[in-house]
Amino acid sequence: MREGEKKFTLKSFKKLFESLYPQLCVFAYKYLNDLEISKDIVQEVFVKVWEDEISFENENHATGFFYKAVKNRSLNYLKSKSYKLTERYELANIEMYDTEEFYMSEAVVIETTSVIEKAINKLPDKAAQVIRLSIEDYTNNEIANELSISINTVKDHKKVAYRKLRDILSFLRIK
C-alpha cells in the first residue's frame, strides 16, 4: 500500500458502494444492453476490490478505478465464448466500445446525470416532480393534467426549480 492510501472500513466501503453502484450499473448497461448481467459485473468488481483490499488515495481515484474496471469486465464479457455463442456477436461494436472516446463520453454522461439527479432531489417535492416530467418531454399542459394542478402552478414550480438548480449546480459553470 502506498503512503496516503487508506484501507476501507466496512462502513466506508458500503458508502462507496451505495454512491457508485447505480451509475456503474447504467454504465455497464451501455456496453452490455442487459441489466442483470450489468448488475452482476458491477457487483463482481466491488467484491474483487473488497477481497483484494485495494485502497485508493481519494474518492476521485476510486471512482475512476471502478469505471475502468467495469468497462474492462464488460468488454471481457462481450469477448467471452459464452456471449459469442448466445448473442449476435459483432466485432465492430466491441471495437467501438473499446475506444477511449466511448468510455469518456459514457462516463461523463452518467456522472452528469447523477449530479443533476442529486440536485433535483434537493428541490421541493412538487418542483422535483414537475422538472422530472419536463425532462421526459411532457408539455406544461400534460404536467398540469398528470399532477392535477393548474398550468400557472406548473410554471411557478418550474421557475422555483430552475432558480434553485442554478444555485445548486453553479459549480458546473465555466468561468
This prediction has a pTM of 0.54
The average confidence (pLDDT) of the chain is 81
CATH class of 122-175: mainly alpha
CB atoms within 10 A of CB 75: 17
> pLDDT, tens digit, for every residue of 108-147?
777 777 788 888 889 999 999 999 888 888 899 999 999 9
Residue bearing the bigger pLDDT, 1 or 36: 36
Burial of 28 (0-12, 13-18, 19+ CB in 10 A): buried
Domain layout of the chain by residue ranges: 1-114, 122-175
- Residue 71 corresponds to which cell in the numbers above? 468497462
